[in-house]
Copies of this chain bind each other. A is one copy, B any other.
Amino acid sequence: MAKFEAGYFGARFSLYPMTDRYVPVILGAIDKLRSSGLEVETDDVSTFIKGDRNAVWATLEESFAKAARSGEHVVMTALVSHGCPGEELCEIDPKTGSAGAPRPHPGTGVRVSCQWSLYPLGEPGYMDVIYKAVADTKADGVFSKGRHFVSHLEGDLDRVLDSIRRTFDQACESASHVTAHITLSANSPTRKAA
């Protein structure tokens, strides 16, 4: 643990394809990870990525879009974190990352069911930040239902992640340490039956 400096941003994600073919589906989904320019650290439970904020979100979107396009029932969980005081110094721009070129949207047309939670930490007024985030996903047209402990979102992958990312960036204005836990599901047989 080193001295805290605002700006440490990254994500930790896992892919769960519910198929005997889960290894090739996962490897196919993250085939560009090593050339993404991000710092990557993989273990037996999840993969950590760190770096430019746009590149991190784009990597999450692209990885899940590829996995979902396998047609298998697949789930991705992602923990996104900004400003964790337990992390070491990092010099990237905390809020925006590089502006860069407008990024592509590989998630367009990939229908997802999503549950997520937002945690602005260390702030007595954190619930107001959460309520604002929920209202913003409603305004974005991706909110489906409030559930115990999570919000349920539905829509195309790119729109769902863009909405979460905007609320996350806004929460970073109110709290120096913010995390979000996101579960994305595609091709669920429960969903098809419903």
A residues with CB within 8 A of B = 10, 12, 14, 16-20, 22-23, 41, 43-46, 48, 50, 73, 75, 77, 79, 81, 84-87, 113-115, 117, 119, 121-124, 126-127, 130, 146-150, 152, 179, 181, 183, 185, 188-191, 194
Contact = CB atoms under 8 A, between A and B. Distances in A.
A12 B181 CA distance: 13
Contacts of A149: 10, 12, 48, 79, 81, 84, 87, 179
Contacts of A50: 148
Given A85-B127, A127-B86, A183-B77, A48 B148 contact: yes
Nearest to A130: B86
B16 A16 contact: yes
A129 B75 CA distance: 31
A113 B19 contact: no
A94 to B, nearest CB: 16
Contact of A79 (B117, B123, B188): B117
A20 B19 CA distance: 4
Given A117-B179, A121-B126, 9 more contacts: A18-B20, A18-B22, A41-B147, A45-B113, A46-B150, A79-B150, A87-B148, A119-B179, A123-B124
A20 B23 contact: no
Contact of A45 (B12, B19, B119, B185): B185
Nearest to A189: B23
A173 to B, nearest CB: 18
A63 to B, nearest CB: 16
A19 B16 contact: no
